[in-house]
Amino acid sequence: MSFKLIVPNSSFLTPHSSLLTLKLLTITNPHSPIFMIRRRSTPWIHKWSRPLIAAIAGCGALITGYLTIEKLTGGSAACVAQAGAKGCNDVLSSPWATVFGQPLALFGFLAYISMVVFALAPLVFNSKENNNRKQLENWTWWLLLVGAIAMSVFSGYLMYVLTSEIKAICLYCIGSALFSVSLLVLTIIGRTWEDIGQILFTALIVGMVTLIGTLGVYAGVNQSDVTPGTPGQPTKITFTPKENPNPAFGWEITTTSGEAEIALASHLAKVGAKEYSAYWCPHCHEQKLLFGKEAEEIINNGIKVECAPDGLKAQPELCKAAKIEGFPTWIVNGKSYSGVQNLEELAKVSGYTGPRNFKYFK
């Protein structure tokens, strides 16, 4: 239905009739500026949600990228931790920090980069066709939602591992978890979702799939220890604790020493090498397994420095003075070597010239 407005001669219009005419024109013309002023304004969070998501994901990518480089190059991440306390490097050297043979931080980096792409895609690829743009926005919002849910669930599992299994404080891990939750919150409130029920259903499905996949990936973490090797060849050593360590000695050493291990331990003591470790450190125990029980007695008597304050013969002040950031850390001929060292490597850096038929390797 349409109406035709007849405007009388302007000479007969009164102020009241002019106002009435203006109102009628406004109602019948949807493109009138007055009509447009009455439209509902877009909330600021809807305008800035995508740039905010991209910024937070970018910060996460920087952190995980840095940790990936440190892990791949064998370096130690910058971490503020008290001597004898578990910190970031202990987390990064734990079995949970490696997935499919690659650093877990690498997968985190890829996830954050994907979130950046999903957030900025509609802003960068500004299609001239309105339908294509709306379709791209809709698809990327759903991808952001799925990604944020998966990252939040996975981060929640890692926080559980951090507190109950590794029992360490890792600011990088906590920061990444906060980033993941922030991405999820911004994705939910950053646009008008037409069907809240669909969001809840998506969260349930994605959360369950992520949790089941995570448990499957880490199912082998509690399997151990010494992998049988080819007869006459060194045996591969790994260790995952199944019980709490004893402050007096950690865990029982189940390997035995050969002549090469004993000779190398004696040589390291002779050249003044030092091994900084903590009784509760699984990787320190792996170092013990590489030497074997007999050679480890030599290490304990003149080489090892116990950094855990509640450990046997603890000397945390020496660890602090040496600026030890992770365990084990070797100091050989004035140079520092972080992490578990194969005996062949220790022999090389210490100038050892004795037998090298070592029984185990990492």
What DSSP assignment string belongs to 177-217? HHHHHHHHHHHHHSS--S-HHHHHHHHHHHHHHHHHHHHHH
User: Does the structure show a pLDDT above 80 at 13?
Assistant: no
Q: Are residues 114 and 176 in the same domain?
A: yes
Q: Are residues 207 and 265 in the same domain?
A: no
Q: Are residues 48 and 163 in the same domain?
A: yes
- The side-by-side arrangement of strands in the sheet containing 329-332 is 304-306, 274-277, 329-332, 335-338
Q: What is the pLDDT of residue 18?
A: 45
For range 278-283, the mean pLDDT: 88
- Entry pTM: 0.60
Q: What is the pLDDT of residue 26?
A: 47
Q: Are residues 190 and 264 in the same domain?
A: no
Looking at the chain, the whole-number percentage of residues with pLDDT higher than 90 is 55
Residue ending a domain, choose from 158, 186, 217: 217
User: Does the structure show a pLDDT above 70 at 49?
Assistant: yes
Q: Are residues 287 and 207 in the same domain?
A: no
pLDDT digit string (tens) for 35-46? 444 556 889 999
Structural domain range at position 313: 227-361
pLDDT digit string (tens) for 309-332? 888 999 999 999 998 888 899 999
Q: What is the pLDDT of residue 287?
A: 94
Helix (H) or strand (E) holding 148: helix 130-161
Q: What is the pLDDT of residue 195?
A: 86
Q: What is the pLDDT of residue 19?
A: 42
Q: Are residues 240 and 101 in the same domain?
A: no
Q: What is the pLDDT of residue 221?
A: 65
User: Rounded CA gap, 165 and 137, in Å?
Assistant: 41
Q: What is the pLDDT of residue 138?
A: 93
pLDDT digit string (tens) for 160-208? 999 988 888 889 999 999 999 999 999 999 999 988 888 899 999 999 9
Q: What is the pLDDT of residue 141?
A: 96
The answer to whether residue 2 is domain-embedded is no
Indicate which CATH number applies to the domain containing 198.
Answer: 1.20.1440.130
Q: Are residues 180 and 233 in the same domain?
A: no
The answer to whether residue 259 is domain-embedded is yes
User: Does the structure show a pLDDT above 90 at 24?
Assistant: no
Q: Are residues 248 and 213 in the same domain?
A: no
Residue ending a domain, choose from 188, 217, 246: 217
pLDDT digit string (tens) for 111-152? 999 999 999 999 888 766 778 888 999 999 999 999 999 999
User: Does the structure show a pLDDT above 80 at 2?
Assistant: no
Q: Are residues 247 and 326 in the same domain?
A: yes
User: Does the structure show a pLDDT above 50 at 6?
Assistant: no
Q: Are residues 121 and 170 in the same domain?
A: yes
Report the DSSP pairing between strands 274-277 and 329-332. Answer: antiparallel
Indicate which CATH number applies to the domain containing 277.
Answer: 3.40.30.10
The answer to whether residue 72 is domain-embedded is yes
Residue ending a domain, choose from 148, 182, 217: 217
Q: What is the pLDDT of residue 334?
A: 92
Please tell me what DSSP assigns to residue 226: E
In the structure, what pLDDT confidence band is assigned to residue 268 with cuts at 50, 70 and 90?
very high
Angle, helices 171-189/130-161, rounded to nearest 10 degrees: 150
User: Does the structure show a pLDDT above 90 at 218?
Assistant: no
Domain count, the chain: 2
The answer to whether residue 352 is domain-embedded is yes
3-class secondary structure, 309: coil
User: Rounded CA gap, 355 and 260, in Å?
Assistant: 5
The answer to whether residue 61 is domain-embedded is yes
For range 340-350, the mean pLDDT: 93
The answer to whether residue 34 is domain-embedded is no
Residue 236 forms beta bridges with which residues?
227, 361
Q: What is the pLDDT of residue 219?
A: 82
Q: What are phi and psi of 248, to 5 degrees?
A: -80, -35
CB-neighbour burial class of residue 193 (10 A; exposed 0-12, middle 13-18, buried 19+): middle
The answer to whether residue 4 is domain-embedded is no
Q: Are residues 241 and 205 in the same domain?
A: no
The answer to whether residue 101 is domain-embedded is yes
User: Rounded CA gap, 133 and 125, in Å?
Assistant: 8
pLDDT digit string (tens) for 57-90? 999 999 999 999 987 876 677 876 555 567 787 7
User: Does the structure show a pLDDT above 80 at 32?
Assistant: no
Q: Are residues 71 and 181 in the same domain?
A: yes
Q: What is the pLDDT of residue 303?
A: 93
Please tell me what DSSP assigns to residue 250: B
Whether 226 contacts 255, CB under 8 Å: yes
Which of 161-165, 207-211, 295-299 has the least mean pLDDT?
Answer: 161-165
